[in-house]
Structure 1
């Protein structure tokens, strides 16, 4: 009954969802591209497979899927890979990572309406479906089961807060998780919560993000950028969310009162969402800071040292470059109760990290990084600046944290091979034949 009510509500909400696309397109025109795909219309796309299907809703999930997608393409050379998204930025990230791979097709997943899900399943008839991290929709899961498509939740995570919210649906949630062919969880805590919701085939395979390899070209560009920065020290504020930048800018403006005689570093400010780049640049200028935008810098041309207070990271797909240019990085989404963002990429590059009090979306990775000495937790923006000053003023401590960061990242690799092994039986039994050993 709950599923029926949910499905009926979708028919009411669907016009609102389409209007929301138009609203968001005011700042991100790409939201009005490929709208038909969101309605299950794929007539212009090739349908001949056989298809392995990976769903990565947005940027973070798409990047996390990269090592798994590379492994699937290598292991199953006779198959094509269907990569679906829900956001334009996720689709753009996929194009950046895989645009030269002819065996990959990108499109949007349809809204979670039974008839639209059926259209998707009939058109592509994937032999297996892999949902990245958290993206579980009731009609999608049921539709895959009806179409006899084994559907797995991979790199799966479920925070205690999300568990409590989902558990309120009782048997309806249990039925949905029972319909999954399997759940490959990041941590023991995630696995325990999925089992409590009704998932039966649960394994712990680790976090694919530890297997992500930073682009060497991006690292080289970051090192080049670093040469131009006049202050000598760089503090990154990466993947910041709405509401955090005012707190950061206010504390940064009071650096000397908070940090004493420690020279103020350049602040490399990188908002998470590209539609906010202009807004954050204007905000920093109003606060009295000199601002340079990454998009206006040509790092191939010899330039005078950048003496700007703030360098705005207004580009997509260059996070490795930004971390390579930084001495220390604050990971956004954690000053406010938003759950935090991924700290693993920074650690992989040997950049120590600071996080705020709210990291429930990446709880295990954050606690492990703190225990390893790669990460420090702060309570607010003022403490962030004081802690940053303390670390930046102590070369030996900074060097030690760099070693700890890389060691932490290295110890947790291997999720890709464990995930592929866990999927092997289902892939074989689903007519995904002739893998390469």
Structure 2
């Protein structure tokens, strides 16, 4: 890199850091608003200023933004823990829900710590890194913070992006960063890209092609726990032979469509049960209220985890970390965030359990996975409550069709192998 380019880039970092600092009061106003629905947004604010109580040495720093990234990274992180049992691991997230998931996933590990990632200003980042002393920084998927990366480069800390994906929108945003090609992206130690398209975009940003490998998506490496059947035995016995469908990770605007469809389904299949799981826990009470607006009887999981009444028509999954268990109970899975313009959510979990899968048309967060599933005819894409009603009743009334869809979903899930091993191999080189 030229000296002039480096000087201008350092000027950019100072200006960027100053603007970010000035913007923090606005961020806190937004967090206070969100805290009206989720009080956790009012807690642990000091961590976001880099003021952690942790004092670590020789740590491995992993950043996973929220729930999705934390869950997809679990197999990789646990393999790193297995192979590096004497190292400290610090996992940062941005959201409280991400924090909850990390704490639950690694509650049995004494060498795994969680804190919120510091705001991307020079002073907060420096304070945080001085306390956790990372020797490598692993970003799950893609979240580029210039001040954090710049500090890592100055401290000669390897930066690795695992399970990397880069949407066109993010690509256009990053390419506008002044002098980033010479001073930011080409200093990243390694990128394990999900697809060839992601790899090409990173290369265009300035990442050396020799530092990029295409390893596939970690989400394909989901391992189904052996105890799922035993954990679900009691509640499954209470359900007996009722046909069940689940609507998972739903967002505002989707529940009404789902509940209208379920009312129609009950006219055809009177004993059908809907398991409804909102994406965000701050909406649990809101969604319960929406269910009450329909002529449907509901039961909340927090009230009873061991049985479902025969009279229950909608079972509200108002807990965190139990979605896989609820998928296991179901025959058909609708995956939310797809009937509204949210880009969809992970349908690999129900696929790993051989569940027939239904989704809406908004899938831009999982475009590559969706395309691969389409090749196996493993996705049923719907747009309206009437279409949802028709496909659910067709699947539940036709065992042959249900089995065909279930098998296709599992085959699509199994198409990618050894993703964890590939990404672990690249990371281990820097440890």
* Residue pair 2:235, 2:305 contacting (<8 A) in 1 also: no
Deviation at 1:66, TM superposition (A): 1.0
Cα distance in 1 between the residues matched to 2:383 and 2:255: 15
* Residue pair 1:229, 1:307 contacting (<8 A) in 2 also: no
Task: Give the 3 Å change call, closer, same or farther, for CA 142–386 of structure 1 in structure 2.
Answer: same
Aligned counterpart, 1:107: 115
* Residue pair 1:335, 1:381 contacting (<8 A) in 2 also: no
* Residue pair 1:57, 1:85 contacting (<8 A) in 2 also: yes
Cα distance in 2 between the residues matched to 1:48 and 1:166: 32
* Residue pair 1:141, 1:179 contacting (<8 A) in 2 also: no
Deviation at 1:332, TM superposition (A): 0.7
Aligned counterpart, 1:21: 31
Cα distance in 1 between the residues matched to 2:291 and 2:116: 35
Structure 1 position 146 matched with structure 2 position 146 = no
Aligned pairs (5 A) from 1:118-133: 118-133=126-141
Deviation at 1:175, TM superposition (A): 4.6
* Residue pair 2:90, 2:113 contacting (<8 A) in 1 also: yes
**2:321 aligned to which of 317, 323, 328:** 317
**2:256 aligned to which of 246, 257, 264:** 246
* Residue pair 2:242, 2:271 contacting (<8 A) in 1 also: no
Secondary structure of the 1:330 match is: strand
* Residue pair 2:56, 2:133 contacting (<8 A) in 1 also: no
Deviation at 1:2, TM superposition (A): 4.7
Secondary structure of the 1:357 match is: coil
Task: Give the 3 Å change call, closer, same or farther, for CA 213–304 of structure 1 in structure 2.
Answer: closer
Deviations 1:267-290 (A, max 9, x none): 111100000000001011112321
Structure 1 position 329 matched with structure 2 position 329 = no
Deviations 1:12-71 (A, max 9, x none): 1112223333332232222233221110112x22x2322111111211111111111111
* Residue pair 1:210, 1:415 contacting (<8 A) in 2 also: yes
Secondary structure of the 1:296 match is: coil
Deviations 1:328-362 (A, max 9, x none): 10111111121111111111111121111111111
* Residue pair 1:52, 1:82 contacting (<8 A) in 2 also: yes
* Residue pair 2:265, 2:392 contacting (<8 A) in 1 also: no
Aligned counterpart, 1:435: none
Deviations 1:132-178 (A, max 9, x none): 11222121211211222111111111233433444455754775433
* Residue pair 2:56, 2:131 contacting (<8 A) in 1 also: no
* Residue pair 1:230, 1:305 contacting (<8 A) in 2 also: no
Cα distance in 1 between the residues matched to 2:332 and 2:425: 36
Task: Give the 3 Å change call, closer, same or farther, for CA 9–369 of structure 1 in structure 2.
Answer: same
Task: Give the 3 Å change call, closer, same or farther, for CA 161–330 of structure 1 in structure 2.
Answer: farther
Task: Give the 3 Å change call, closer, same or farther, for CA 304–84 of structure 1 in structure 2.
Answer: closer
Could you tell me the TM-score, scaled by structure 2's length?
0.91
Aligned counterpart, 1:237: 247
Cα distance in 2 between the residues matched to 1:123 and 1:320: 36
Deviation at 1:225, TM superposition (A): 2.9
Aligned counterpart, 2:144: 136
Task: Give the 3 Å change call, closer, same or farther, for CA 2–284 of structure 1 in structure 2.
Answer: farther
Structure 1 position 306 matched with structure 2 position 314 = no
Cα distance in 2 between the residues matched to 1:306 and 1:175: 63
Aligned counterpart, 2:6: none
Aligned counterpart, 1:361: 365
Secondary structure of the 2:275 match is: strand
State the aligned residue count: 419
Structure 1 position 208 matched with structure 2 position 215 = no
Aligned counterpart, 2:8: none
Secondary structure of the 1:308 match is: coil
Cα distance in 2 between the residues matched to 1:23 and 1:203: 41
Aligned counterpart, 2:230: 220
Secondary structure of the 1:148 match is: coil
Could you tell me the TM-score, scaled by structure 1's length?
0.89
Structure 1 position 39 matched with structure 2 position 49 = yes
Structure 1 position 297 matched with structure 2 position 311 = no
Deviations 1:193-221 (A, max 9, x none): 22223222221111112222233334433
Aligned counterpart, 1:268: 275
Deviations 1:313-337 (A, max 9, x none): 1010001111101101011111112
Task: Give the 3 Å change call, closer, same or farther, for CA 95–219 of structure 1 in structure 2.
Answer: farther
Secondary structure of the 1:183 match is: strand
Deviation at 1:230, TM superposition (A): 6.8
Aligned counterpart, 2:104: 96
Q: Which stretch of the first structure deviates more once superposed, 65-74 or 185-194?
A: 185-194
* Residue pair 2:181, 2:207 contacting (<8 A) in 1 also: no
Secondary structure of the 1:413 match is: coil
**2:40 aligned to which of 30, 33, 50:** 30
* Residue pair 1:166, 1:173 contacting (<8 A) in 2 also: no
Aligned pairs (5 A) from 1:362-377: 362-377=366-381
CA RMSD of aligned residues (A): 2.2
Q: Which stretch of the first structure deviates more once superposed, 276-285 or 180-189?
A: 180-189
Cα distance in 1 between the residues matched to 2:79 and 2:259: 42
Task: Give the 3 Å change call, closer, same or farther, for CA 268–84 of structure 1 in structure 2.
Answer: same
Secondary structure of the 2:302 match is: helix
Cα distance in 2 between the residues matched to 1:381 and 1:131: 39
